[in-house]
Amino acid sequence: MQVRCFKYDHWEQTEVAELRAGDQIIVGGRLLRVSAPPYVANGQLHLPADPVRPEPAVLAFTASPLAEVMDLVGSTVQQFEDGTAIVADLKCPEAGTFSPRLSMPALEQFCAMHLRRYRAFYEKNRAEIDDGQPVQMTRWW
């Protein structure tokens, strides 16, 4: 059996038997974090996992390239325990990711350097983004 698993900066189909504690997966439309390796008991596969609780939203009331990119793609910034961050909504893998995984200062700089690409993406997909529908961005980074 396979599930969608977030691997560093993208989603990929992964065998349940290969999952490890800390992996973030989508099962039944829900974002879960694996708490322990899967195991078999009484002939059934068990996967210890808990729902991922949403991080508190951090609102920036100043203009920044990162804030503009979030608006242009209709997504949020996901921060990780290792100090890196990515523009992605991990609860919606259908949308994919919208940036590489970088430190926050490097992500801000990346967004500033590539605003033209993000603005073009928005213009092409304005109706769907404004309607809250997930839109895939072809990875170019």
Query: Using one digit for the tens of pLDDT, what is the confidence trace for 121-136?
Result: 999 999 999 998 989 9
Q: Where are the domains of the chain?
A: 2-51, 65-130
Q: In the numeric block, which tokens belong to residue 55?
A: 């991080």
29 confidence band (pLDDT: 50, 70, 90): confident
Among candidate residues 2, 1, 7, the one with its CA nearest the CA of residue 90:
7
Which helix (H) or strand (E) covers residue 127, if one does? helix 115-130
pLDDT (tens digit, 9 = 90+) per residue, 33-57?
A: 999 999 999 998 899 999 987 555 4
Put simply, whether the predicted model's pTM sits higher than 0.75 gets the answer yes
C-alpha torsion sign, points 74, 134, 7, 34: positive
Strands 10-15 and 2-7: antiparallel
Q: What does the pLDDT read at residue 80? A: 87
pLDDT at 62 over 70: no
